[in-house]
Amino acid sequence: MDRIRTFLFPAAIGVLALSCTACRPKTESSAVIGGADAPTGIFVSVAPAYSVISQEEAKALMDSEENIAIVDARDRSEYEQGHIPGALLLPYTEVESKAAELLPDKEQCILVYCRSGRRSKLAAETLVKLGYTDVREFGGITTWPYGTEK
């Protein structure tokens, strides 16, 4: 069960109350900001996070870990032109509909890349929103120095 922590801070116009879920890393946090009489209705939500790692770190994980999924977030034609060995094609536009089928273990380390880094960030965000707990984004294949396959 999630634990809720509330912090009260004196402010010039009243009290600032922050509540956050503190059970696990990468869970959603929220805050309600209010004055002395009542909350103002402002709600701040911080989305669950994924890690951004370097290509060197990604390659080291690929070489040393066994249970890693490498996700290529580009489209099929780009994937067929060349991809990182062992990469699974999961276009960023299909993550929400196909992730459960292609990535059944939500605790598995998932490394995500695309061409330049924009689509991999979107795919990583979607994976985290779907409940994946160990998502790491490492940019684009255009600067990948370790070789590809067709």
132: DSSP letter? -
Of the candidates 81, 55, 61, 79, the residue with the CA atom closest to the CA atom of residue 138? 55
User: How confident is the model at residue 41, as a pLDDT?
Assistant: 57
Give the catalytic positions in this structure: 114
Q: Return d(Cα 75, Cα 146) in angstroms, integer.
A: 21
Single-letter code of the amino acid located at 90: L
Asked if residue 62 has pLDDT above 90, the reply is: yes
What do you get for the CA distance between the two ends of the chain, in Å?
46
pLDDT tens for 6-52 read 344 444 444 444 433 333 344 444 455 555 565 555 555 555 699 99
The answer to whether residues 141 and 82 touch, using CB atoms and an 8 Å cutoff, is: yes
